[in-house]
A = this chain, B = another copy of it.
Amino acid sequence: MQMDERKRKILRAIVLDYIATAEPIGSRTIARKFDLGVSPATIRNEMADLEDLGLIEQPYTSAGRIPSDAGYRYFVDCLMDPQELSEEQKKTIERESTKQIHEIQEVISHTSKLLSELTSLTSIVLGPHKGKSTFGKMHFLPYQPGQVIMVIVKENGVVENHIVDVGENLTVEELQHVAGVFNQKMRGYSPGQVKRSLLHDIYSELSRQRILIDNTMDMLRTILDDHDGDERIYLGGTLNMLNQPEFKDLDKVKTLFKVFEENGSLKKLLHPLHEGLNVTIGGENMLKEFRDCSLISASYKVNGITIGAVGVLGPTRMDYGKVIAIVDCMTRSLTGVLTGRRL
């Protein structure tokens, strides 16, 4: 059995109506709402075929039909008219995106908020990963008696500072000497890679400042080995999920929000995606908790290099056309805002 034009029209009608109403749709309703020029009986026959093809299903005997995952997939791939955002919406995105250009974190979190507001769904944004977290350069600055500020510049350009206990008061020259040795020996390494010999070198060159060295190495370990610090997950509009009729069941809400809470799995969800825009429908999803959800995601770039991703999560019954258009526009805008900017 093959899909013909009429089957396609009927499937399209079912998907569109179900997206709009969240109610199973019957042959009669299709005939009434969509002008296909055939009677409900004919539509019934076609629907039986569509069910055999696995594109639609019945929640229970003698209810209307709803699209299956495969049905949504067919719809997204073949039936959907590509949707354009209105000029007004585009302008909103442009305006909002360029509003907070101060810190990159603000840009990202603002993006997340905007996405969830525009779609009335949940947005998941994977913050920029910033290249390898290896040692670049170090400075010491005076702080309090017995303590100094250690400023670390990582090789990817990220700057962090921490307070380090010195042990006893050291002179500016001594501090500069210590920093100099670190800078000379450690560039490009992570503490895990620092070989015994190297550490030995540092110790032997700097005998008196043992406490400082130990504390500094401790600090470096926590700073540089902390891979979670980069790539933060930003969630927006999680509450929107509660408005979806598919989540009027408390247990579903619980399992869903549990996933939101531990964002490790969310990272996995967004990570392995291909370049450009992806649509993941229902069971195609890696997380079983998201079996009833679809994810529209896309990667964003800085200076041509993919460094993060944004996604919109909603029930499988979502307005794919609209959401895809919004996500697409958003990543373009984000890429535009970020390009030419130092992270």
Q: Say yes or no for A194: interface residue by CB 8 A criterion.
A: no
Q: Which of B222, B261, B342 meets A144, CB within 8 Å? A: B342
**1/0 contact trace for A128-147 toward B, CB 8 Å?**
00000000000101011001
CB distance from A107 to the nearest CB of B (A): 14
Residues of B within 8 A of A163 (CB): 159, 342
Q: Which of B159, B242, B257, B261 meets A161, CB within 8 Å? A: B159
Q: Say yes or no for A99: interface residue by CB 8 A criterion.
A: no
Q: Which of B139, B143, B160, B258 meets A239, CB within 8 Å? A: B258
| CB-CB under 8 A for A239 and B254, given A163-B159, A163-B342 | yes
CB distance from A179 to the nearest CB of B (A): 11
Q: Say yes or no for A305: interface residue by CB 8 A criterion.
A: no
Count of residues in A whose CB is under 8 Å from the partner chain: 25
The number of times this chain is found in the oligomer is 2
CB distance from A99 to the nearest CB of B (A): 14
Residues of B within 8 A of A250 (CB): 242, 248, 250, 253
CB distance from A265 to the nearest CB of B (A): 15
On whether the beta carbons of B153 and A151 are closer than 8 Å, the reply is no
Q: How far is the CA of A147 from the CA of B239 in the complex (A)?
A: 41
Q: Say yes or no for A102: interface residue by CB 8 A criterion.
A: yes
Q: Say yes or no for A224: interface residue by CB 8 A criterion.
A: no
Residues of B within 8 A of A70 (CB): none
Residues of B within 8 A of A147 (CB): 342
Residues of B within 8 A of A102 (CB): 222
Residues of B within 8 A of A261 (CB): 239
Residues of B within 8 A of A161 (CB): 151, 159-161
Q: What is the chain B residue whose CB lies nearest that of A147?
A: B342
Q: How far is the CA of A102 from the CA of B253 in the complex (A)?
A: 35
Q: Say yes or no for A19: interface residue by CB 8 A criterion.
A: no
**1/0 contact trace for A104-123 toward B, CB 8 Å?**
00000000000000000000
Q: What is the chain B residue whose CB lies nearest that of A149?
A: B159
CB distance from A52 to the nearest CB of B (A): 37
Q: Which of B149, B153, B253, B257 meets A153, CB within 8 Å? A: B149
On whether the beta carbons of A143 and B153 are closer than 8 Å, the reply is yes
Between-chain CB contacts (< 8 Å), 15 pairs: A102-B222, A139-B141, A141-B141, A143-B153, A144-B157, A147-B342, A149-B151, A149-B153, A160-B161, A161-B161, A163-B342, A239-B257, A239-B258, A242-B253, A248-B250
14 A-B pairs besides A143-B159, A144-B342, A147-B342 with CB distance below 8 A are: A139-B141, A143-B153, A149-B159, A151-B151, A151-B161, A159-B163, A160-B161, A161-B161, A163-B342, A242-B250, A242-B253, A242-B257, A250-B253, A253-B253
Residues of A whose CB lies within 8 Å of any CB of B are 102, 139, 141, 143-144, 147, 149, 151, 153, 157, 159-161, 163, 222, 239, 242, 248, 250, 253-254, 257-258, 261, 342
Closest 8 CB pairs of A and B: A139-B141, A242-B254, A161-B161, A159-B161, A149-B159, A239-B257, A141-B151, A151-B151
